[in-house]
Amino acid sequence: MTPSSLSSGAGVLFSLDRLPFWSVAAVYVLVALLLGVVVRLATGRSLARIAAHRRTELSRAIATTVPRPAAVAVVLVVLAAGLRLVPREDPQLAQVHRLVAIVLALLGVAVMMRVAFRSIFRWCRSSPRASGDGRSAPVERDAQCSGSSNLGLSLLCGASN
């Protein structure tokens, strides 16, 4: 078959086969990064609207925390999907695919931890005991931070013992 006898779609695929692998991989990585930027902007904009509408500390913490890790997750998923298209059967590719899955799981845990820590920090700042600079005022322990179950919150909020 000659390239002229092929349809236009097959002609494009024929010309892609003649390109070096690194150039196709570089374009694929750039498209993945561009998709990550689009996801970050769209997620940030929509979560900011939700936070403005709901006006809760948790929604604000999520709106400021989630967009960047969501973009990283999209880039990792697109790159992991691209690993399936690599025309090699190296055992290292399977290891890289497993590594990407582990990184995605760690990214999910990191997002949950950041949301929790930001929520706790914002709760401490909005507490009636808090002074204007974000630190707790030196007051006696009240019912909000007393007890063994809230010991971590009382330490984070800076309640005096």
Q: What is the C-alpha R_g of the chain?
A: 25
Consecutive 10-residue averages of pLDDT for the chain (161 residues): 51 66 85 95 94 87 88 89 75 81 88 85 70 51 44 47 41
Q: What is the largest CA-CA distance in the chain?
A: 86
Cα separation, 57 vs 65, in Å, equals: 12
* pTM exceeds 0.85, yes or no: no
For residue 55, is it left (φ>0), alpha (ψ between -120 and 50) or beta?
left
CB 119 within 8 A of CB 61: yes
Handedness of CA 57, 60, 64, 70 (dihedral sign): positive
